[in-house]
Amino acid sequence: MSQLVLICESNPESLDSIRKILKDEGRVVLKASDKKEVKNFAEDNPLEAVILDFQFANNSVFETLSYLKIEHPSTKIIMSYSAEYENLLSDLKSDEEGMKSLGVLGITKKPYNKEEINSLLGQKFNVESQAISSQEELSILDKEFSTIKINNFYFDNIAIFDLYLRISEAKYIKVFHKGTIFSIDEINRYKQEKGIDYLYFKTNDRKSYVSHLNDFLEKTLKKNNLNTIKALKITEGLIGNYVNELYFQGISEELLDEADKICTNTYDLLRRDRKIATYLDDFQNIFQEGISRAFLTTVFSSLIASNLEWANRMTHDFVVKGALLHDLGKLDLPENIRTKNLNELDPEEQAIFKTHPEKGLEILSTCNVSQQVKQIVYQHHELVNGEGYPNGLFGMRIFPLAKVVTFASDFSKFIYQNKLSPLDGLKHFIPDRTIVCRYDSACIKAFIKSFARSKSN
Ligand SMILES: [Fe+2]
């Protein structure tokens, strides 16, 4: 076995330290400054090991790992990291299978420790088990999975849960173990070379995905040059997954916290780019891979709440939270009723369907949710002409913020079903007196204003 070790370390002090440790043990040491040098050294010399710093050569660590794993699978890789990456890498350090899927023998925190390095270099690396763990075909029911569109793959190069490819009905291969570090090129290669559009994850992990997307959106919104379309796509994925989690798994304190974060993020999104409505008018082009109605309802609610005469941050957040939770009561309806529209049901089923606002209120009665949000959930099917339910309230008697969500929800359904842009939808919606008399004129005006404001900015 060669005693040649390649060091990929940019910090001069750390470099001196690891070089001394290795030389003291009689090893021959080489140093690479970038991934090209790694490739050259690895091709020319049979390497015993590579010491790879997590911050190596402007974050090219993922590509370097990927190259070594494929081309030199028997080379031991020891990854090192400094204290600032503690949170990111400490979990992985204790995750044997995750490290194997990366091709990493061990992870060490800097400053380098002589005993730890020597102990890691003394270990044997089971290359065979590494290959099996990342390629094993698994039989798991399709209903246990949710999808991530590769076009909308928003991760910080580290898999926060196991990711799979679907081979055929109920057959999956785990391609990234939780904690695996990957480059986005690897993901795109699945699409470009193999024509794969989706990765799959266990629906049990959806809550983590929602939390991740909320954090990812927050970070995206803090960047100096905001990519609004990217931010909208993250928001779409976030709200779609949030509502699915909520309506199929039920309410929880964690999900209510995530709803608060969504309120903050949507508020910041509108403040960062006043032309959001213009992008939404083009949503069929922007979201060619599909869009959820929940997203449209929530973002329309946010736009209206921001453009009402008496709008403020607090009312915005009540409205957005109400929009996210408004159909929560459907959770308690029988499956064959809750997935249908009212006009697809017989009179008996319709009566059951119409209980969902009350059921929603009931569910929220034990939760830490404001009265305003509860009123939105309870009244989101009341119409100002008195034809709504559950109480057939007329205009003034309906809670003003509930009227926002009623319009946003019904209007998004209208354009969704008729495949119209919001502005084309308004052109059909407004002239029809039998429709427009159901909604609060102030909400419709605020909605139109958001498009006018968007165009004039
Ligand atoms: Fe509803």
* β-pair type (171-176, 4-8): unpaired
What local confidence, expressed as pLDDT, does residue 380 receive? 98
**How far, in Å, from the CA of 453 to the mean position of ligand 1?**
29
Structural domain spans, the chain? 4-126, 274-456
Q: How far is the CA of 436 from the centre of ligand 1 (A)?
A: 18
Confidence of residue 101 (pLDDT cuts 50, 70, 90): confident
Query: Ligand 1 centre and the CA of 397: distance in Å?
Result: 19
Q: What is the pLDDT of residues 105-157, one digit of tens each?
A: 888 889 999 999 988 888 654 433 333 344 567 888 988 999 998 888 888 77
Largest Cα–Cα distance in the chain?
A: 88
Q: If you average pLDDT over residues 293-313, what whole number do you get?
A: 93
The first and second tokens of residue 81, run together, are: 């990291």
314-336 pLDDT tens trace: 999 999 999 999 999 999 899 89
What is the mean predicted confidence (pLDDT) over 193-215?
Answer: 91
Using alpha carbons only, give the angle 67, 76, 123 rounded to the nearest 5 degrees. 160
Q: Report pLDDT for 136.
A: 65
Q: How far is the CA of 114 from the centre of ligand 1 (A)?
A: 64
Predicted local confidence at residue 135, as pLDDT = 56
Q: How far is the CA of 315 from the centre of ligand 1 (A)?
A: 20
The Å distance, Cα 126 to ligand 1 centre, comes to: 55
How many A from CA of 409 to the centre of ligand 1?
8
> Residue 84 CB: number of other CB atoms within 10 A?
9
Compute the distance from residue 329 Cα to the ligand 1 centre, in Å. 8
Residue 99 vs residues 178, 182, 202, 325: alpha-carbon distances, Å: 10, 12, 20, 40
Distance (Å) from CA 186 to ligand 1 centroid: 41
Ligand 1 centroid distance, CA of 367 (Å): 19
Distance from the alpha carbon of residue 282 to the mean position of ligand 1, in angstroms: 26
Question: Coil, helix or strand for 440?
Answer: coil
- The pLDDT value recorded for residue 337 is 92
**Confidence (pTM):** 0.72
Helix (H) or strand (E) holding 21: helix 12-24
Superfamily of domain 274-456: Hypothetical protein af1432 (1.10.3210.10)
Question: Cα of 356 to ligand 1 centre, how many Å?
Answer: 7
pLDDT in tens, 399-421: 999 999 999 999 999 998 898 99
Asked if the peptide bond before residue 390 counts as cis, ω within 30 degrees of 0, the response is: yes
Please identify, in words, the CATH class of the domain defined by 4-126: alpha beta
Rg over alpha carbons for the chain, rounded to the nearest Å, is 27
User: Where residue 398 falls among pLDDT bands split at 50, 70, 90?
Assistant: very high
What pLDDT shows up at residue 451? 86
Compute the distance from residue 152 Cα to the ligand 1 centre, in Å.
28
CA of 122 to the centre of ligand 1 (A): 63
Residues 351-374 have a mean pLDDT of 96
The pLDDT assigned to 286 comes to 78
Find out whether the peptide bond into 46 is cis, omega within 30 degrees of 0: no
